Structure 1
Amino acid sequence: MRPPRSCKGGANMASTVIMTDSIACIPPELAKEHGIEVVPASNIMFGGKTYLEGVTITAKECYEFIKKDPDSFMTSAITPGFLVDEFRKAAEVSPNIIHITLSSAMSAGFQTANLAVETLRKESPGINIRVVDSKTVGGAQALIVMAVAREARNGTNLDGLVALAQKARQKTGGIMFLDTLRYIYRTGRMSKTKARLVSMLNIKPINRIADDGTAELVDKVRKRSDGYKKVIEIIRKDAGTDALHFVVSHADAPDLAAIMADQLKQEFKCLSMVTSDYSPVMGFGAGPGGLFIGYQPELK
């Protein structure tokens, strides 16, 4: 569930409030440790009830709903008004706020945040909010946010943090490894009938987040073990270094995430490793068993 506001007082006190959305998949305890404010990216609808992602429902509960009846699992984006309220609360801590969103190529979250900022500027011109498009999602987005949060503790001002976020997104990679194509019809890219037929072939696609923030298919495998190897191969080629920070997010598959994390630790000089739940807002199309791997070198 959503952690209490963590940027007030103590070691987490910073001159700038660091915010992101729940698509970053940052575990609550880690958000609290880094002084990061995580706001819900979506409302979840199921069984005639509406939930707020990460606040009134957990990722695990969402995946249980998806497995039970995927066609009844629906999402709706939060409104600019909701974000205005969240920004107001954050401004009680500091008038300087950086909000790092998921890729604008995958969601309207970036645009929604900017609409909220425009509204707030009219009523509270003293509040200085900068919205940054991470051009990625999941663990890769988390790595960008955590890098900015660490720098904020050093006293770097808002402009400096925005510059770091922009630098970090150029050096941070993300890979999606799906266990099945059964649920892909929920994205609108394939009919339900075709998705069922394709899933019978046991094809497991591997996508990477491109520079423009879209997902592109880079390979597909039939064996999960081959997929782990391919993910490592892609990271090694893309990162250009063995020393990396990792975040492995899973769609209700902690055992698979643990295997992936162990293999990454064996193949790379692991600077840090975080495992987390993959946001069901993204995972409802990927389906249970999917993994998202974010990786980032030390930023200099």
Structure 2
Amino acid sequence: MTKKIAWITDSTAYIPDDLKNNPDVYVIPLGIVFGNNVFDDGIDLTTEELYRRIREEKDIPKTSQPPIGKFAELFEKLSIDYDCAIAIHVSDKLSGTLACCTSASDSVPLRVEVIDSKSMSYAITTLLYKGIELAEQGIDCKDIAVKLRQEADKSENYIVLGSLEQFYKGGRMTGTQYLLGSLLRIKPIIRINSGGAFELFERVRSEKKAYLRMIELFKHAYHQNNIKQLQIMHGNVRNKAEAFKQDLLSQFPGLDIVIGEISSAIAVHAGEGTLAVIWHNEEK
């Protein structure tokens, strides 16, 4: 008999409606910190409210990992109805969320397989979909986890930041990189590398050139791999995402492209105006 699996992730993941409505999917929110106030991402603070506060207030907000107690409480609850759980989280190089999940799982009766996505946003979504598909085939929880850890290495992403200042103040880039980018009006292309950490991938002179460069990078990957879908994630710039989608479709007619918005936990660091592309490289 197929074992019942609970799927757990955090609020950096993009959760479309079908996953929101899946009774076996649970999302643990990160905290958004404004001064002495902590808001649960996606629950107490919408992205619209976040952007408004950033525009109107001087202090740049920060994020905080979920407390271990939230994980432990959820695991205790899930142990009643589930045989095991698979938790897929934001890269442990970017947040302590995965470490908190692992610590909590050590003290509960539920078997929990914890997976480092080595990324965030739709890269996590892809792993959730793949895991659920494997579960529907009757594959064991442990074997699914092994497969998903392998799949995590196949994600590729490139990001054009909406705010260098927020990225710098959030500790995601050095003062020298920030100064150069500001003075020279450079638009850096950032990526989450294979180790799961942010890195400066390339410097370009304008946003337009950055978008063209991302199309070039996708074109190279597209010819080398089997890519079923591309995701465009944005920070309150749906019009730019739609325009970028049309630019891609002009070169890749029929390509399945999903547009989604980055979560507040990501927007705190990346800023309003951010645009990112994510895809999953499968062998041909």
What is the distance in 2 between the residues matched to 1:31 and 1:184? 29
Query: 1:250 — aligned with what?
Result: 234
> Matches of 2:247 and 2:127 in 1, distance apart?
23
CA pair 63-34 structure 1, distance change in 2 beyond 3 A: farther
Report what 2:156 is aligned to: 173
Does the alignment pair 1:159 with 2:157?
Answer: no
Native 8 Å contact 2:226 2:282 kept in 1: no
Q: How does 1:86-101 map to 2 (within 5 A)?
A: 86-101=74-89
Call closer, same or farther: CA 1:151–1:67 in 2, change over 3 Å.
Answer: farther
Is the 8 Å Cα contact of residues 6 and 82 (structure 2) preserved in structure 1?
yes
Q: Assess if the C-alpha contact under 8 Å between 1:180 and 1:286 holds in 2.
A: yes
Q: Which residue of the other structure, out of 252, 266, 270, is the alignment partner of 1:282?
A: 266
State the SS of the aligned residue for 2:95: coil
Q: Does 1:145 align with 2:128?
A: yes
Once the two structures are superposed, residues 102-125 of structure 1 have per-residue CA deviations (whole angstroms, 9 ceiling, x without a partner) of 1111111111111010121xxx2x
Which residue does 1:5 correspond to in 2? Answer: none
**Residue aligning to 1:262:** 246
- Report the alpha carbon displacement of residue 170 of structure 1 after superposing the two structures with TM: 2.0
What is the CA distance between 1:36 and its match in structure 2? 2.9
Alignment partner, residue 4 of structure 2: 15
SS in 1 for 2:159: strand
Question: Which of residues 128, 136, 149 in structure 1 aligns to 2:111?
Answer: 128
Q: Which residue of structure 2 aligns with residue 31 of structure 1?
A: 20
Instruction: Please give the secondary structure, in 1, of the residue aligned with 2:51.
Output: helix
CA distance in 1: counterparts of 2:87 and 2:221, whole angstroms: 27
Q: TM-score, normalised by structure 1?
A: 0.82
SS in 2 for 1:57: coil
Q: Contact 2:204/2:210 (CA < 8 Å) preserved in 1?
A: yes
1:241 equivalent among 225, 232, 254:
225
Indicate if the aligned counterparts of 1:244 and 1:269 stay in contact, CA closer than 8 A: no
Q: Give the letter for the 2:127 counterpart.
A: I
Partner secondary structure for residue 98 of structure 2: helix
Distance 1:237 1:86 in 2: 42
Give the corresponding residue for 2:68.
80
Point out where structure 1 has 5 or more consecutive residues left out of the alignment.
1-12
Amino acid of the residue matched to residue 88 of structure 1?
E
Letter in 2 for 1:175: Y
- What count of residue pairs does the alignment treat as equivalent? 281
Partner of 1:225: 208
Residues 284, 140 of structure 1: alpha-carbon distance in 2 compared, 3 angstrom cutoff: same
Distance 1:194 1:225, change over 3 A: closer
Q: Residue 163 and residue 299 in structure 1: after superposition, are their counterparts in 2 closer, same or farther (change >3 A)?
A: farther
Separation in structure 2 between the aligned mates of residue 25 and residue 199 of structure 1, nearest angstrom: 30
What letter is aligned with 1:183? Answer: Q
Deviates more, 1:158-167 or 1:267-276: 267-276
Give the 5 Å matches for 1:186-197: 186-188=169-171, 189-191=173-175, 195=178
CA RMSD of aligned residues (A): 2.8
Worse-matched range after superposition: 145-154 or 239-248:
239-248
Q: Which runs of 5+ in 2 are unaligned?
A: none
Residue 245 of structure 1 contacts residue 298 of structure 1 at CA under 8 Å; is this kept in 2?
Answer: no
Identical-pair percentage: 25
Cα distance, 1:164 vs. partner? 2.3
Q: Which residue identity lines up with residue 118 of structure 1 in the other structure?
A: D
CA distance in 1, matches of 2:9, 2:149: 14
CA shift digits 1:54-111 (9 cap, x unpaired): 1222222222222222525232221111111122333344121000111111111111
Q: Secondary structure at the match of 1:84?
A: helix
Does 2:59 match 1:71? Answer: yes
Output the TM-score relative to the length of structure 2: 0.86
Assess if the C-alpha contact under 8 Å between 2:11 and 2:265 holds in 1.
no
CA-to-aligned-CA distance 1:143-163 (integer Å, 9 cap, x gap): 222222222233322022112
